[in-house]
């Protein structure tokens, strides 16, 4: 089964477990889990190439209270969150103000072509960068940062190598 088929299956499974009401963000976009899963598959491919020790924390419950990936080295754990924009023209890494920040690194991704499985990892930011994010009203209060303001992914490779990941 290809990644997109798996992402669709997992998205359908997750949606079937949730009530047909808006989530804590006040939004109920039917494709929000598909977008997330497609982004996570892209992140998984990147980690295979760039980080030897990591865990993908697959969860089908629809909760946003856990990070997607963990990198472990010498007893240390780095929590990695991924936020995926669903359209190639989207310009921001965004997450609701109501969503807790329980990660060390957040990677911004953008789907360029869903059917072809083309996802761009736009860059990353550290937990300390959250306080500098713009807050905008995008249906709900939302933290956001332009993709162009994120650190490049090659810097994340250097950081992980320097820290022994």
For 90-122, write each residue's pLDDT tens digit. Answer: 999 998 888 888 899 999 999 999 888 899 999
Q: What is the rounded CA–CA span in Å between residue 13 and residue 113?
A: 23
pLDDT above 90: percentage of residues in the chain: 45
Q: 153-162 and 32-50 are packed helices; what angle lies between their axes, rounded to 10 degrees?
A: 50
pLDDT exceeds cutoff 80 at 73:
no
Question: Contact 96/24 with Cβ under 8 angstroms?
Answer: yes
What's the predicted TM-score (pTM) here? 0.85
All structural domains of the chain, each given as residue ranges with its CATH number in brackets, are 3-162 (3.40.1350.10)
* DSSP character at residue 152: P
Q: What would the two tokens of residue 79 be?
A: 């929590």
pLDDT digits (tens, 9 = 90+) for 7-53: 888 877 877 777 666 655 555 566 778 898 899 999 999 999 988 78
């Amino acid at each position: 089964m290809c990644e997109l088929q798996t992402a669709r299956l997992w998205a359908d499974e997750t949606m079937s477990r949730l009530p047909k009401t808006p989530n804590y963000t006040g939004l109920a976009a039917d494709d929000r889990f598909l977008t997330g899963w497609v982004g996570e598959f892209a992140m998984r491919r990147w980690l295979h190439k760039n980080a030897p020790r990591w865990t993908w924390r697959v969860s089908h419950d629809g909760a946003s209270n856990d990070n997607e990936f963990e990198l472990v080295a010498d007893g240390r754990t780095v929590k990695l969150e991924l936020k995926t924009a669903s359209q190639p023209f989207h310009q921001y890494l965004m997450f609701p103000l109501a969503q807790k920040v329980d990660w060390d690194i957040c990677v911004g991704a953008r789907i360029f072509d869903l059917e072809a499985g083309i996802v761009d990892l736009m860059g990353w930011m550290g937990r300390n960068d959250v306080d500098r994010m713009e807050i905008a009203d995008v249906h709900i209060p939302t933290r956001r940062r332009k993709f162009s303001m994120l650190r490049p992914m090659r810097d994340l490779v250097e950081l992980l190598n320097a820290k022994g990941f």
